[in-house]
């Protein structure tokens, strides 16, 4: 089957769906611009990561069941999130194990390998690095831990960013160090989380970048929340929004990072 005949589903992730819909819209526009049709199954909700990583494994079973039910008919499932894809690929099998349901185990084994993080999908499956994007800003890229160490996306996001016209891509010092988000860690261990954030923010500001990007809005919400609190003058933008941006359609509006109504 050719790459252009793939039946592609968008796994938006509950977090992007609710808090960062622009990232989802950008993902759809990008894939359509590359000539693909994307379906959005409305029955999708959450992959279970929040429950699983906090210790509520039993509560994940129905979520994993829903996930495979919704996505098992597709050739490829694409998500603009490294950590949610990491959850599906690395831990859905564990949840299925906990459930003791051999049917669920088999369904997970079939579905999970077809779930791709956006940069992996573009580079590995669609075999493109130049997606025709234009983004005239100074940008630094933070490789989120789950993209880096669970999915091993490696250089793929950077290869995509390097091909963007007009971009001034600058290397982030200490890039591979965790930003301190860590899901419920950011609240349960808020002091340590913020201590980690302080160093990430320092590194981001050292680059002189206008935009810090990544493949996960959860980490960006943390880094961006810190930058915004400091009125640092640097904003966070998801990778999908940069890649979706073109000369004729600037997807990502240049918002005032300090907000309008302080």
Span 52-71, contacts to other proteins by CB under 8 A: 52-57, 59, 62-63, 66, 70
Residue 1, interface with other proteins (CB under 8 A)?
Answer: no
Within 103-142, the residues that bind other proteins by CB under 8 A are: none
The DSSP line for the chain is --GGG--EEE---HHHHHH-HHHHHHHHHHHHHTT--EE--TT----SHHHHHHT-HHHHHHHHHHHHHHHTT-SEEEES-HHHHHIIIIIHHHHHHHHT-HHHHHHHHHHGGGEEEHHHIIIIIS--S----B--SEEEE---HIIIIIS--TTHHHHHHHTSBT-EEEPPTTTTS--S-TTTHHHHTHHHHHHHHHHHHHHHHHTT-SEEEES-HHHHHHHHHHHHHTT-S-EEEEHHHHHH--SS---S----TT-S--
- Which tokens hold the place of 181? 């988000």
Which of 192, 202, 208, 247 is the binder for other proteins (CB under 8 A)? 192
Pick the piece of the chain touching other proteins (CB under 8 A) from 37-45, 101-109, 119-127, 164-172. 37-45
Nearest to 135 by CA among 102, 165, 105: 165
Residue 253, interface with other proteins (CB under 8 A)?
Answer: no
Nearest distance in Å: CB 137, other proteins = 19
Residue 40, interface with other proteins (CB under 8 A)?
Answer: yes
Nearest distance in Å: CB 43, other proteins = 5
Beta carbon nearer to other proteins, 157 or 180: 180
Pick the piece of the chain touching other proteins (CB under 8 A) from 20-28, 125-133, 163-171, 242-250. 20-28
Which of 229, 233, 249, 254 is the binder for other proteins (CB under 8 A)? 229
Which of 31, 224, 237, 238 is the binder for other proteins (CB under 8 A)? 224
Angle between helices 102-111 and 57-71 (to 10 degrees): 60
Beta carbon nearer to other proteins, 4 or 39: 39
Residue 215, interface with other proteins (CB under 8 A)?
Answer: no
Which of 171, 176, 206, 247 is the binder for other proteins (CB under 8 A)? 176
Residue 255, interface with other proteins (CB under 8 A)?
Answer: yes
Interface mask toward other proteins for 149-168; x: CB under 8 A = xx------------------
Is residue 81 within 8 A of residue 117, CB to CB? The reply is yes
Nearest to 255 by CA among 227, 218, 215: 227
How many residues bind other proteins (CB under 8 A)? The answer is 73
Within 70-89, the residues that bind other proteins by CB under 8 A are: 70, 73-74
Which of 8, 68, 96, 145 is the binder for other proteins (CB under 8 A)? 145
């Amino acid at each position: 089957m050719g790459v252009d005949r793939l039946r592609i589903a968008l796994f938006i992730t509950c977090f992007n769906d609710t808090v960062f819909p622009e990232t989802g819209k950008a993902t759809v526009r990008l894939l359509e611009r590359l000539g693909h049709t994307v379906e959005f199954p409305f029955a999708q909700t959450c992959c279970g990561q929040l429950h699983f990583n906090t210790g509520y494994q039993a509560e994940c079973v129905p979520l994993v069941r829903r996930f495979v039910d919704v996505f098992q008919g597709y050739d490829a499932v694409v998500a603009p999130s490294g950590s949610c894809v990491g959850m599906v690929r690395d831990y859905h099998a564990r949840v299925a194990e906990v459930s003791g349901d051999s049917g669920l185990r088999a369904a997970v084994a079939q579905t999970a390998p077809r779930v791709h993080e956006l940069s992996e999908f573009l580079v590995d499956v669609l075999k493109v690095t130049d997606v025709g994007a234009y983004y005239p800003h100074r940008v630094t890229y933070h490789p989120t831990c789950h993209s880096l160490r669970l999915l091993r996306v490696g250089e793929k996001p950077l290869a995509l960013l390097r091909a963007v016209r007009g971009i001034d891509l600058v290397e982030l010092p200490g890039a591979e160090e965790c930003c301190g988000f860590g899901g419920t860690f950011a609240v349960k261990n808020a002091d340590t989380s913020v201590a980690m954030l302080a160093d990430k923010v320092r590194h981001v500001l050292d680059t002189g970048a206008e935009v810090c990007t990544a493949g996960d809005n959860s980490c960006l919400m943390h880094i961006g929340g810190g930058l915004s609190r400091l009125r640092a003058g640097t904003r966070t933008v998801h990778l999908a929004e940069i890649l979706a941006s073109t000369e004729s359609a600037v997807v990502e509006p240049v918002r005032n990072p300090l907000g309008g109504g302080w």
